[in-house]
A and B are shown apart, each in its own frame.
Chain A
Amino acid sequence: ILNVEQSPQSLHVQEGDSTNFTCSFPSSNFYALHWYRWETAKSPEALFVMTLNGDEKKKGRISATLNTKEGYSYLYIKGSQPEDSATYLCAPWAGSYQLTFGKGTKLSVIP
């Protein structure tokens, strides 16, 4: 079981603001990091899988970076929209076919 920390726990931003949040994980024995988006009353949906140090992924206004040497990943949302309101989960792969999920960052975008 890995120690995964996500910060902040929650945040409120105005529509149009850009925002970012952090996922911290053990840097030793790193394999891969997953980001999921989880809307209320729905199930988690995959955003990115990242494996290489310095990796950067982008999907529309959402992007993520990865630093495996220091054990963190940032998720950025540019020009937040109300439909971006969700909980964002990160999950490093713990080996033995297991993902360890963080508690998530809950984003609320105020119109």
Chain B
Amino acid sequence: NAGVTQTPKFQVLKTGQSMTLQCAQDMNHEYMSWYRQDPGMGLRLIHYSVGAGITDQGEVPNGYNVSRSTTEDFPLRLLSAAPSQTSVYFCASSGSGTSTDTQYFGPGTRLTVL
């Protein structure tokens, strides 16, 4: 049981490049989410999904795209990377995303945009 996995662990991009951060979970969770962690800030929600085919925006969605074609996978796409997107990205999942559901976090992806 791997839990929540993320790839890659580290990535360096040049401004304007695009890339996809991968996230997968093997717990059959309906709810998946992406957060970014910046120094001096709390975890901020980028996008979330309450099930396959359903996605919605969080607090900081601009510059990011998501899709949820399967229950297991929730990739995060950077369309045209900018230095402001340098951050640590965490994927999380929970059973159904309701108020008392515990979220389980992946190990994170550290992204640097030059």
Contact = CB atoms under 8 A, between A and B. Distances in A.
B106 interface: yes
A111 B40 CA distance: 26
A43 B103 contact: no
Interface stretch (A13-21, A57-65, A72-80, A98-106): A98-106
A45 B43 CA distance: 13
Interface size class of B (residues with CB under 8 A): 20 to 34
A89 B50 contact: no
B42 to A, nearest CB: 4
Interface string B83-112: 000000010000001111011111110000
A101 B43 contact: yes
B108 A89 contact: no
Interface in B55-75: 56, 58-59
A46 interface: yes
Nearest to B98: A97
Contact of B42 (A31, A46, A89, A97): A89
Contacts of B50: 97
Interface of A: 1, 4, 31-32, 34, 42-46, 49, 51, 89, 91, 93, 95-104
Q: Return the 3 tightest CB-CB contacts between A and B, nearest first.
A: A101-B42, A43-B105, A31-B99
